[in-house]
Structure 1
């Protein structure tokens, strides 16, 4: 309520300044007053700091972190909720140790709910039969909903949700109904060294956010361009494109750049990559990850 009132007052002040500027007598007074108000607003804006100390929604209440012992990386607070519906669930977390020398795959997940232009993009890292999904999202307080407009104005903190695929993928394929989501899973090509650099970059940032929170931003720090910034660690990374800003086109762009392998057209690849039906059939099965990847094994 206070934010709305202040925004309304600033809008009124801008209108008054515009009227004053259009009159010769008060032009410079109006310009000076509005500039002073703008400077005060900018100073106040710059003093707003992100925080990890808020009353969070249950889905983002627990921050993950990683500890290191050579090539062994223990990831703490891996989310694995037991869902009955999208909003009715039992929170659960676990810790697991991963051997960096066994990291052999990275898959890209694209979830669509509002047409072809916008998708939520996240990566899942494969260590043999084990897969660890990491979704970069806006961390919302208990009373907040998500708004792309609010995401420009320091309304949400940034969070890397580290989760079991039976959580981060299955909640989207099996439980989200309003609106439903179409989920696609693509295998990303890359050398073992490149995959390791990206994974270690994720782990470093996850630990940094636990100590020094940052704001989410709809344009500059969202799910897709933050992934792209992680890939800049690697030689030969894809150049930035408007297809990263319009995240729904990111899989097609990666296919154009040869990062989703050669072979079929993107349309054929996309049709095979749609995993909703396989996820429905797998549901809570222990081999959920292998069953949703049946298309990656077929010729």
Structure 2
């Protein structure tokens, strides 16, 4: 290897050295995170942090002590394999100590026109005497009929502003009500969402079918995150295909759990992945940094805009104030749509 490098011009050797250092640095940093978030001593805790630090210090000392380039690369390879091999064997599961919001694993039964949701989430949120929100969990069975699917709305929860948001699809089954699909990080008891943790194996991926009074109110009223309600301009056929493909994914996750991943299996990319590759729109950075996903969808004509600019449409679709007022109303879904563009 030293002979091969000797025959290259000096500048090329420098370029190769820099590139190899960058590559080694990337893998070392990533695997440091793998130990911290997915290590054997618990997820994202001080003990895993200490273990990751010990591993890194040992690698760094050995890296500095050897002189030959090939030995340095060998040290990096061995150090990375020590972490990567056991980490690659860690697999997803539906059997963990889940937080209350994600306790049940849902699935759907399709019998011709009849769609039956099992472990359909329908939580209620009420204020106690001390003014704090109380959660009343309910998982139930819900039946709708595919022939009644007549439209779809998209809730856009900008919980981290322009940086990160959470889209929720709401399928309109007429007099049988709305069925929301929220693609979530399935979190264990005590875990909180972490974008960096989402680069590793910190969370499983969960397709949650819920009521609007659950998925929407917990965001607008309990967490007080800004939520926008847009009417989809997609055809009934496209909406039906999207709904059925979502059902397929939820059933697959029941049998074969998968990890959530910020880059390739998040709440936005997962929906995109349901479409055949030939039908997917070109990738846009707003699919990842999805606080402005609604801007992207507006540009693609996915929303009913009634001629409004994006800024005007967004302002008209902001629902937090009315959602708070209608919190206990039996016609919550109707009230949050009054006066919104595209809504009857």
**TM-score past 0.5 threshold:** yes
For the aligned residues, what is the CA RMSD?
Answer: 2.0
Contact between 1:166 and 1:284, CA under 8 Å: does it hold in 2?
A: no
Paired position in structure 1 for 2:148? 102
Displacement of 1:9 = 2.1
Q: Which of the numbers 265, 273, 289 marks the counterpart of 1:229?
A: 273
The change in CA–CA distance for 1:239 and 1:101 in structure 2 (over 3 A counts) is farther
- Which 5+ residue runs of structure 1 have no aligned equivalent? none
Displacement of 1:140 = 0.8
Paired position in structure 2 for 1:39? 81
Q: Which of the numbers 115, 139, 157 marks the counterpart of 2:204?
A: 157
Displacement of 1:298 = 6.4
| Counterpart check, 1:285 vs 2:329 | yes
Paired position in structure 1 for 2:194? 147
TM-score (norm 1): 0.91
Q: Which of the numbers 75, 96, 99 marks the counterpart of 1:57?
A: 99
Q: Which of the numbers 197, 200, 204 marks the counterpart of 2:244?
A: 200
- Which 5+ residue runs of structure 2 have no aligned equivalent? 1-45
1:101-120 equivalences in 2 (<5 Å): 101-120=147-166
Q: Deviations over 1:226-267 (max 9, x none)?
A: 12222x249755332111111111111111111113411111
Contact between 1:17 and 1:34, CA under 8 Å: does it hold in 2?
A: no
CA distance in 1 between counterparts of 2:172 and 2:282 reads 25
| Counterpart check, 1:90 vs 2:132 | no
The change in CA–CA distance for 1:234 and 1:281 in structure 2 (over 3 A counts) is farther
SS at match of 2:323: helix
SS at match of 2:160: coil
Displacement of 1:116 = 2.0
| Counterpart check, 1:13 vs 2:58 | yes
Paired position in structure 2 for 1:134? 181
CA distance in 2 between counterparts of 1:189 and 1:61 reads 34
Contact between 2:262 and 2:288, CA under 8 Å: does it hold in 1?
A: no
CA distance in 1 between counterparts of 2:277 and 2:50 reads 47
Large movers: runs of 4+ above 6 Å: none
The change in CA–CA distance for 1:84 and 1:128 in structure 2 (over 3 A counts) is same
Deviates more, 1:93-102 or 1:246-255: 93-102
Contact between 2:108 and 2:251, CA under 8 Å: does it hold in 1?
A: yes
Q: Deviations over 1:115-155 (max 9, x none)?
A: 22321112111111410111111111102122111111101
Displacement of 1:15 = 1.4
Paired position in structure 1 for 2:22? none
CA distance in 2 between counterparts of 1:98 and 1:260 reads 25
Paired position in structure 1 for 2:42? none
SS at match of 2:51: helix
Contact between 1:110 and 1:122, CA under 8 Å: does it hold in 2?
A: yes
TM-score (norm 2): 0.80
Contact between 2:166 and 2:267, CA under 8 Å: does it hold in 1?
A: yes
Say which one has the larger Rg: 2
Paired position in structure 2 for 1:241? 284
Contact between 1:252 and 1:266, CA under 8 Å: does it hold in 2?
A: yes
Contact between 2:231 and 2:343, CA under 8 Å: does it hold in 1?
A: no
Q: Deviations over 1:150-177 (max 9, x none)?
A: 111101111112111001001111111x
Q: Deviations over 1:61-94 (max 9, x none)?
A: 0111101110211111221112136863121122
